[in-house]
Amino acid sequence: MDLHKIKDNINILSDFLGKRDLPTLSSSALKEKYKISQADMLLLFGGSIPYGCDVVGKAVLNNICKNFMIVGGEGHTTESLRQAVHQAYPEIVTAGKSEADVMAAYISWKYGIDKILLERNSTNCGNNVTYALELMKQNKLCPQNMIIVQDATMQCRMDAGFRKYLKNEEIQLINFASYKVKVEVRNEKLVVDSSGLWGMWDIERYISLLLGEIPRLLDTVSGYGPEGKGYIAHVDVPVKVIKAFEELKMDYGALVREANPLYASK
């Protein structure tokens, strides 16, 4: 396939998956859209690239939320997070640490934020949700609204996971994918325009993560929706997104990420 067509298809997937309900993660944006200056809860998930820690750290420092939680045990993104943080900041010990601990250590060191709830046991998108809700319950927190921040490749699925478990509760979910990027063609190569995005995936990993999401989001027998495995609420996947996925699969079928049984819910 033509590189420019491949680029367009990748960007169609990333635009769809990187769900954002606010233009910026700020009190002013919250006030303008939701008529609130602070969210009751903000959750940062360990699957995000390290850049997400800075996005959230700055927002929390500017009073974006009343309560702040980091969610993440060990999963398929953990080792890359450990390495990225330790390489950039050798004084932060990351070996063997959960994603929540690594992110909290960095945010505490960089932004002086120590009042953070930590969920250290989750291993996948599904129990990210259930364990986070359980930790809120244990701490007698009953938010009316929540900002959820995840890696842009997984934000749509995180939203669908929460919608499954919150379907009978009146909690407003506010999505903010931790970054937005475009893939470009430069010198006959695909590149991620990721200037300033600390820890951004290399192009092959990025494509793999994007491609892996579409089969999971589909409400089919093999998907994660109610008609399949039942892990998430129904997601309307636009025809143009499915078309982009199918076309990319012709060139990158081997990169479609399968679920790792090591990180399945027990």
CATH of the domain at 142: 3.40.50.620
Closest CA to 147 of 39, 264, 224: 39
* Burial (0-12, 13-18, 19+ Cβ within 10 Å), 75: buried
For residue 47, how many other CB atoms are within 10 A of its CB? Answer: 27
Q: How many structural domains comprise the chain?
A: 2
Is residue 11 located within the same domain as residue 127? no
Do 107 and 55 share a structural domain?
A: yes
Instruction: Examine the domain organization and report whether 8 and 105 are in the same domain.
Output: no
Q: Does 151 share its domain with 205?
A: no
Domain boundary pick from 156, 175, 194: 175
The pLDDT tens digits along the chain (266 residues) read 799 999 999 999 999 999 999 999 999 999 999 999 999 999 999 989 999 999 999 999 999 999 999 999 998 889 999 999 999 999 999 999 999 999 999 999 999 999 999 999 988 887 899 999 999 999 999 999 999 999 999 999 999 999 999 987 889 999 999 999 999 999 999 999 888 899 999 999 999 999 999 999 999 999 999 999 999 999 999 999 999 999 999 999 888 866 554 445 54
Residue 258 has a pLDDT of: 66
CB 116 within 8 A of CB 108: yes
Do 50 and 76 lie in one domain? The reply is: yes
Six-digit token pair at 204? 């092959």
For 224, the domain range is: 3-16+182-263
Q: Are 39 and 174 in contact (CB under 8 A)?
A: yes
Does 156 lie in the same domain as 194? no
Other beta carbons within 10 angstroms of residue 66's beta carbon come to 13
217 and 256 assigned to the same domain: yes
Residue 58 is encoded by which pair of tokens? 């700055």
Q: What pLDDT, on the 0 to 100 scale, is given for residue 29? A: 98
Q: Across-strand partners of 68?
A: 42
Q: Which of residues 155, 175, 195 is at a domain's end?
A: 175
The per-residue pLDDT for 217 is 97
In this structure, the answer to whether residues 100 and 74 fall within a common structural domain is yes
What is the token pair recorded at 143?
A: 């938010």
Statement to judge: residues 152 and 43 lie in one domain: yes
Give the C-alpha separation, 192 to 157, whole Å: 22
SS (H, E, C) the chain: CCHHHHHHHHHHHHHHHCCECCCCCCHHHHHHHHCCCCEEEEEEECCCCCHHHHHHHHHHHCCCEEEEEEECCCCCCHHHHHHHHHHHCCCCCCCCCCHHHHHHHHHHHHHCCCCCEEECCCCCHHHHHHHHHHHHHHCCCCCCEEEEECCCCCHHHHHHHHHHHCCCCCCEEEEECCCCCCEEEECCEEEECCCCCCCCCCHHHHHHHHHHHHHHHCCCCCCCCCCCCCCCCCCCCCHHHHHHHHHHHHHHHHHCCCCCHHHCCC
Which of 149, 175, 201 is a domain's end point? 175
- Residue-level pLDDT at 261: 47
Same domain, 190 and 82: no
Q: Contact, 152 vs 17, CB < 8 A?
A: yes
Residue whose structure tokens are 């364990």: 131
CATH at residue 232: 1.10.3620.10
CA 159: distance to chain centroid? Answer: 9
- pLDDT score at 177: 98
Whole-prediction pTM: 0.94
